[in-house]
Amino acid sequence: QVQLVQSGAEVKKPGASVKVSCKASGYTFTSYGISWVRQAPGQGLEWMGWISAYNGNTNYAQKLQGRVTMTTDTSTSTAYMELRSLRSDDTAVYYCATAYCGGDCYEAFDYWGQGTLVTVSS
Amino acid sequence: IQLTQSPSSLSASVGDRVTITCRASQGISSYLAWYQQKPGKAPKLLIYAASTLQSGVPSRFSGSGSGTDFTLTISSLQPEDFATYYCQQLNSYPREGGFTFGPGTKVDIK
């Protein structure tokens, strides 16, 4: 069955970088993209961007352009999200998600990772 | 594309009919999904293409709408339905704002 398993919680200082991983299993990794979504404490969901696992093409949310990089390692079926120049308002749970149902479900996110808490604090 | 949801929260009783509205700032055809999220858990896809029930989701959930106005209806609220519900538009690509989510509607027990 499709599974996305994320790396563990991180604590970072302001100005540092964090790299969160998302290991996929149960499907052909290169056939689907991976999106990243974050959720600050007590807040709503924020779409961060998307990467094609097929060719590495990316699309990032405008507000994160220049600070975020999404990559994949097809040899291990793992996606990565790196966020740089961390600020306190980057404290959030970070999720990876995929639209395994693809165009049949209009690219809605039917599988999600368990989430990774990133805390930015001095 | 911006999404608004109303109400932002509501209190209801088991068995109640609940309706949540999602409005897009411009037309998105039927490129809208609804998710349910419980505390400490990842969101769960309920409905895609505005009105198609995801496999395994109870039939008391339904969605309707197209263009700019959408609704999620729970026909008879069950104890396990107390959660926060988000709409998401999947019509535009990042250069136009990305796959934005609505701000959410929290459904709690009256």
DSSP, collapsed to helix, strand or coil, labels residue B94 as: helix
pLDDT digits (tens, 9 = 90+) for A30-74: 999 999 999 999 999 999 999 999 999 999 998 999 999 999 999
CA-to-CA distance for A65 and B10, rounded, in angstroms? 36
A72 neighbors A87 (Cβ within 8 angstroms) = no
A99 neighbors A105 (Cβ within 8 angstroms) = yes
Query: Long-range CB contacts (< 8 A, 24+ apart) of B59-64?
Result: B61/B34, B63/B32, B63/B34
DSSP, collapsed to helix, strand or coil, labels residue B8 as: coil
Chain B residues whose CB is inside 8 A of the A59 CB are 93-95, 98
- Residues in a beta bridge with B36: B44, B85
> Chain A residues within 8 A (CB-CB) of chain B?
35, 37, 44-47, 49-50, 59-62, 95, 97, 101, 105-110, 112-115
Pick from B42, B44, B95: which is nearest to A114 by CB?
B42
pLDDT in tens, chain B (110 residues): 899 999 999 999 999 999 999 999 999 999 999 999 999 999 999 999 999 999 999 999 999 999 999 999 999 999 999 999 999 999 866 445 689 999 999 999 88
Bigger pLDDT: A102 vs B53: B53
- Residues in a beta bridge with A70: A81
Please count the residues of chain A. 122
Contact A105 B49 (CB under 8 A): yes
